[in-house]
Amino acid sequence: MAEVDKENMKVVYLELAAGTSMPRHIATGDACLVVEKGMALLIYRDETRELTKGIVTVIPANQQHMLKIIKDFKAYIVLTANADIEYPVFGSDCIS
């Protein structure tokens, strides 16, 4: 994952291979995810969305989620400059 910081926003470049995943995490600010290539499942506690090339989706701040990569995946994540992606330890109410 590569990250570019600017004064008001942060752009994270994400590249993951098929069969891998981005573990459960949160973003501390709203995140806009723009898919450049591949396919992944964006998994929330009660919803799963399929992400493919050209899809743009907003992930609300502090919303627990994970990515399961189906086909080699490239995407950009746009966050406010002060937001971070965190991997806290989740309790029994977490997604699996």
Which tens digits make up the pLDDT trace of 56-83? 999 999 999 999 999 999 999 999 989 9
Specify whether the CB–CB gap between 34 and 75 falls below 8 A.
yes
Cα gap 85→96, rounded to integer Å:
18
> Which distant-in-sequence residues (6+ apart) come within 8 Å of 94 by Cβ?
24, 45, 64
- Count of CB atoms situated within 10 Å of the CB of 59: 19
- Checking if the pLDDT of 93 tops 60, the result is no
CATH topology of domain 2-81: Jelly Rolls (2.60.120)
- Checking if the pLDDT of 29 tops 80, the result is yes
The residue among 64 and 4 whose pLDDT is bigger is 64
**Residue with tokens 């590249």, as numbered in its chain:** 15
What per-residue confidence (pLDDT) applies to 7?
A: 78
Facing residues of 24 across strands? Answer: none
Cα gap 21→28, rounded to integer Å:
20
**To the nearest whole percent, how much of the chain has pLDDT over 90?**
75
pTM of the model: 0.84
